[in-house]
Structure 1
Amino acid sequence: MVQYHTTLDHPLGCAMVKTNQTKPEMQMSDRSTVKAIGVISGTSMDGIDVSIVDTDGDTLVKPGLGRTFSYPDNLRRTLQALIAEPAQAQSEPLEDLERDVTEAHIAAIRRFMEETGIGAAEVKLIGFHGQTVYHRPEIRFTRQLGLGDKVAEALGIDTVYRFRHADVASGGEGAPFVPLYHRALASNLQQPIMILNLGGVGNVTYIDGDVVIAFDTGPASALLDDFVLRRRGMSYDENGQLAASGRIDQKLVSVFMQNPFFDRPAPKSLDRQDFHARAKGVEALSDEDGAATLAEFTVQSVVAALRHVPRAPQRWLVTGGGRRNAHFMKRLREELGVAVDPVESVGWDGDFLEAQAFGYLAVRSTLGLPLSLPTTTGVPHPMPGGELHRAA
Structure 2
Amino acid sequence: MGKNKEYLAIGLMSGTSVDGVDAAIIKTDGYSVKRYGKCHHLAYSKEQQKIILEAIDQARDAGNPDIRSNSISMAEGFINEIHTKAVQEIIKINDLNRDDIDVVGFHGQTLLHNPDKGWSWQIGDGREIASELGITVINDFRRDDVENGGQGAPLVPIFHRALLPEKNDYPIALLNIGGVANITWIGGDDPSDMLGFDTGPGNALLDDWVREHSDLPYDKDGELSASGSVQEIFVNDLMNHEYFTEKPPKSLDRNEFGIGQVSMLSPADGAATLIAFTVAAVKMAEVMCPDYVKKWYVCGGGAHNPTMMKMLSDTLYGDVEDISALGFDGDYVEAEAFAYFAVRKLLNLPITFPGTTGVSEPSTGGKINKP
Secondary structure class of the residue paired with 1:215: strand
Letter in 2 for 1:102: N
User: How many residues get paired?
Assistant: 361
Distance (Å, rounded) in 1 between the aligned partners of 2:87 and 2:45: 15
- What's the TM-score once normalised by structure 1's chain length? 0.89
Aligned mate of 1:194, from 158, 166, 173: 173
* Match of residue 66 from structure 1: 39
* Match of residue 316 from structure 1: 296
Distance (Å, rounded) in 2 between the aligned partners of 1:98 and 1:200: 20
Bigger drift between 43-52 and 230-239 goes to 230-239
| 2:170 equivalent to 1:179 | no
CA contact (8 A) 1:89 1:133 kept: no
Distance (Å, rounded) in 1 between the aligned partners of 2:11 and 2:106: 6
Letter in 2 for 1:87: D
Structure 1 residue 108 displacement after superposition: 1.2
Equivalent positions of 1:214-293 (< 5 A) are 214-276=196-258, 279-293=259-273
Secondary structure class of the residue paired with 1:67: strand
Deviations 1:304-347 (A, max 9, x none): 11122111111100000100100011111111143111101221
CA contact (8 A) 2:230 2:276 kept: yes
Bigger drift between 204-213 and 80-89 goes to 80-89
Structure 1 residue 187 displacement after superposition: 4.2
CA contact (8 A) 1:83 1:89 kept: no
CA contact (8 A) 2:171 2:186 kept: yes
Paired-residue identity, %: 39
Deviations 1:160-205 (A, max 9, x none): 1100011112221111111111101114233210000011110000
* Match of residue 39 from structure 1: 12
CA contact (8 A) 1:82 1:89 kept: no
* Match of residue 386 from structure 1: 366
* Match of residue 92 from structure 1: 67
* Match of residue 363 from structure 1: 343
Letter in 1 for 2:30: G
* Match of residue 28 from structure 2: 55
Structure 1 residue 136 displacement after superposition: 0.7
Aligned mate of 2:194, from 196, 212, 219: 212
Secondary structure class of the residue paired with 2:257: coil
CA contact (8 A) 2:195 2:356 kept: yes
Distance (Å, rounded) in 2 between the aligned partners of 1:307 and 1:339: 15
Unaligned ranges ≥5, structure 1? 1-23
Alpha-carbon RMSD across the aligned residues, in angstroms, is: 1.4
CA contact (8 A) 2:152 2:357 kept: yes
Distance (Å, rounded) in 2 between the aligned partners of 1:260 and 1:73: 34
Aligned mate of 1:305, from 272, 282, 285: 285
| 2:147 equivalent to 1:169 | yes
Secondary structure class of the residue paired with 1:205: strand
Unaligned ranges ≥5, structure 2? none
Structure 1 residue 297 displacement after superposition: 0.5
Distance (Å, rounded) in 1 between the aligned partners of 2:164 and 2:354: 20
Letter in 2 for 1:103: E
| 2:99 equivalent to 1:121 | yes
Distance (Å, rounded) in 2 between the aligned partners of 1:286 and 1:207: 39
Structure 1 residue 375 displacement after superposition: 0.5
* Match of residue 145 from structure 1: 123
